[in-house]
C-alpha cells in the first residue's frame, strides 16, 4: 500500500488541487500536500502493523487512484482550515465588550473610513503646508491638547510600550516611588516590576498591598528619586480595609520635592463613564488637571480607538520621551494614526457617545438589548434540531477595564438535539459568518451586549446556517 502512495507531482496535477493552487498559491498547496501525504503514510504503517499481529484483519487494499482522491480531499480540508485561521471579521457575541482575543474596541465608521483613506500614500510624517518633515503623530496633537488640557502628546504602539519608554527616558538609573498595591500584572505576562527592571529605573516600593499613606511616599523620596508613579489597577480592585492618597496629593508632593509625577490611568478614558451608569474611571483630562507631569493610557479600551499607547503631559517632559531612541522602536504606523485621529474627532465634536461603538455598547439599555434579541430570534425562525430561547444575563466590559462591573444583557440560548454545545460553538466559529459566543450549562449563549447593531441580521443568518451542518 505504501508503494501505491501517489507522488507529490501526481497530486499537484489533481483537478481539485489545481483549483486550490489558483486560489491559494502553489507554495501553500505544496505544504498541505506534504502534510496530507505524511499523515496518510503514518496511517498506512499503523494499519500494516495491526494486520501483522495475531488475529489482525488484513486491511482492504485501496487503489492508487482512490488514494490520490482521498489525499486531495484531505488537502482541501487543510485549505479550509487555513482559511479559518486567517485574520478577518468575526461577530463578537461573547458578552465581553472589549474582548482582547477578538481585537478589543470595534472602530467607528469614521475610523474605518480613515483607514481606507490612508491605505495608499498619506501625510504620515510631512507637513502639508510647508512640505517639511515632521514627527509622526503631530496630526492628533491638537485634538489631544484640546481634549486633555496637556501641552504635548506622543502615540506609541500600546500602553505597555508607553510605560517602558517613559520610565527609560525619564527615570533610568534612578528610583521611582510606587505603592505596593499598584504593582500590577496585565494579561500576557506584563508585570510592572519586570518593566522597571527592563527600563533601568529602580523600583522603590512603599506602603502595603491594601494601604499606602502620603507619609510613606514622603519618607521614600531621596536624592536618587526621579519620580512618583501612580498606576490605576484597571483589572482588579482592592476593597475593605484599604486606602491610598489621592493622585492630586502625590502630584503636589512631587512638585514640592522637584521630582516628576507619572500617572498610568490604564484604560485610557476620555469620557466620564459614570454618565452611562458605570463606576467612575480616571480620565486623561482629570489626570492633567490634577497636576501630573506625564499621563499614560490605552487607546483601544475605554477610549474606543485602535490599539496604541497615548502619552500626554508637559512639553518639556514629553519631548524627552519622544527623543529617546526607543521611541522609534515602538512608534505607530499610519493606519493607527488615521483611526485614532478619526476617533478623537468624535470626542472633539462631542458626539463620541453616539459614534464610538465602545461607548454605545456600554451605554445601551437592557430593554433595547431585549428587543434586539427578540428581533434576531424572529429573524432566525425555525431551524431543524435547534432550540433557541431569549434570556436575561450579565455581560462584562473586558479588556482589563471595570472588572467588578456586570452589565445587564439579553442572550440567545442555543441547544442542539444532535450536537454538543462545544460542537455548535465550533460550527459557529468556522462558518461562513464567523461567530464567537460563550458556553454555559451545555448551551451556547449569544450575547447581544457585544454585538454591533449592524451585525444582528448577519448573526441570525449564521444561526440559520447551522441547519446545513452535516
The CATH number of domain 109-355, selected from 3.40.640.10, 3.30.450.20, 1.10.540.10, 3.40.1280.10:
3.40.640.10
- Percentage of the residues of the chain whose pLDDT score is greater than 70: 95
Query: What residues does each domain of the chain span?
Result: 2-84, 91-102+361-468, 109-355
Element (H, E) at 167: helix 159-171
Where are the strands (E) in 34-174, listed by range?
A: 91-92, 96-98, 152-156
- Give the torsion sign (CA, 85, 91, 95, 97): positive
Q: How many CB atoms sit inside 10 A of residue 142's CB? A: 13
| 91-102+361-468 matches 109-355 in fold | no
Q: How long, in residues, is the chain?
A: 470
Cβ atoms 433, 462 nearer than 8 A = yes
Q: What is the pLDDT of residues 37-50, one digit of tens each?
A: 898 888 888 777 76
Q: Would you say residue 53 has pLDDT above 70?
A: no
Cβ atoms 93, 463 nearer than 8 A = no
Q: Would you say residue 303 has pLDDT above 90?
A: yes
CATH architecture label of 91-102+361-468: Alpha-Beta Complex (3.90)
- Mean pLDDT of the residues in the chain: 92
DSSP 411-423: EEEEEESSS-HHH
DSSP 210-248: SB--HHHHHHH--TTEEEEEEE--TT----SS-B---HH
Q: Which residues contact 158 (CB under 8 A, 6 or more apart)?
A: 298, 300, 307, 308, 309
Q: What is the pLDDT of residues 76-96, one digit of tens each?
A: 989 888 887 888 999 999 999
Amino acid at each position: 500500500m505504501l508503494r501505491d502512495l501517489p507522488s507529490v507531482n501526481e497530486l499537484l496535477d489533481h483537478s481539485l488541487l489545481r483549483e486550490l493552487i489558483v486560489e491559494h498559491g502553489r507554495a501553500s498547496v505544496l505544504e498541505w500536500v506534504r502534510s496530507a501525504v505524511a499523515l496518510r503514510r503514518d496511517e498506512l504503517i499503523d494499519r500494516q502493523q495491526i494486520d501483522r499481529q495475531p488475529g489482525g484483519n488484513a486491511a482492504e487494499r485501496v487503489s492508487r487512484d482512490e488514494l490520490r482522491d482521498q489525499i486531495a480531499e484531505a488537502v482541501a480540508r487543510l485549505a479550509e482550515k487555513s482559511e479559518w485561521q486567517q485574520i478577518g471579521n468575526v461577530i463578537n457575541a461573547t458578552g465581553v465588550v472589549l474582548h482582547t482575543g477578538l481585537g478589543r474596541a470595534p472602530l467607528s465608521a469614521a475610523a474605518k473610513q480613515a483607514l481606507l483613506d490612508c491605505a495608499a500614500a498619506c501625510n504620515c510624517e510631512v507637513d502639508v503646508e510647508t512640505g517639511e518633515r515632521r514627527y509622526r503623530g503631530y496630526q492628533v496633537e491638537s485634538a489631544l491638547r484640546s481634549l486633555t488640557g496637556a501641552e504635548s502628546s506622543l502615540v506609541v504602539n500600546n500602553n505597555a510600550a508607553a510605560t517602558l519608554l517613559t520610565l527609560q527616558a525619564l527615570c533610568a538609573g534612578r528610583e521611582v516611588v510606587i505603592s505596593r498595591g499598584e504593582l500590577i500584572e496585565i494579561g500576557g505576562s506584563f508585570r510592572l516590576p519586570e518593566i522597571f527592571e527592563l527600563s533601568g529605573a529602580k523600583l522603590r516600593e512603599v506602603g502595603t498591598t491594601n494601604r499606602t499613606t502620603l507619609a510613606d511616599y514622603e519618607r521614600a523620596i531621596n536624592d536618587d528619586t526621579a519620580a512618583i508613579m501612580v498606576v490605576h489597577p484597571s483589572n482588579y480592585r482592592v476593597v475593605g480595609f484599604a486606602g491610598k492618597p489621592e493622585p492630586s496629593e502625590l502630584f503636589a508632593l512631587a512638585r514640592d520635592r522637584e521630582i516628576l509625577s507619572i500617572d498610568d490611568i490604564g484604560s485610557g478614558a476620555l469620557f466620564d463613564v459614570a454618565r452611562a451608569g458605570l463606576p467612575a474611571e480616571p480620565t486623561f483630562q482629570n489626570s492633567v488637571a490634577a497636576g501630573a507631569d506625564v499621563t499614560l493610557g490605552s487607546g483601544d479600551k475605554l477610549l474606543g480607538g485602535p490599539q496604541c499607547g497615548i502619552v500626554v503631559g508637559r512639553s518639556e517632559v514629553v519631548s524627552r520621551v519622544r527623543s529617546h531612541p526607543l521611541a522609534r522602536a515602538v512608534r505607530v504606523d499610519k493606519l493607527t494614526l488615521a483611526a485614532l485621529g478619526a476617533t478623537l474627532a468624535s470626542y472633539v465634536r462631542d458626539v463620541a457617545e453616539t459614534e464610538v461603538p465602545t461607548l454605545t455598547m456600554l451605554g445601551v439599555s437592557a430593554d433595547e438589548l431585549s428587543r434586539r434579541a427578540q428581533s434576531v430570534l424572529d429573524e432566525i425562525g425555525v431551524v431543524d434540531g435547534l432550540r433557541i430561547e431569549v434570556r436575561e444575563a450579565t455581560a462584562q466590559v473586558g479588556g482589563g477595564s471595570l472588572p467588578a462591573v456586570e452589565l445587564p444583557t439579553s442572550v440567545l440560548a442555543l441547544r442542539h438535539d444532535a450536537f454538543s454545545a462545544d460542537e455548535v460553538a465550533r460550527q459557529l466559529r468556522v462558518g461562513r459568518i464567523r461567530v464567537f459566543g460563550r458556553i454555559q450549562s451545555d448551551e451556547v449563549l449569544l450575547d447581544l451586549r457585544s454585538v454591533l447593531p449592524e451585525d444582528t441580521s448577519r448573526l441570525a443568518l449564521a444561526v440559520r446556517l447551522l441547519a446545513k451542518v452535516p
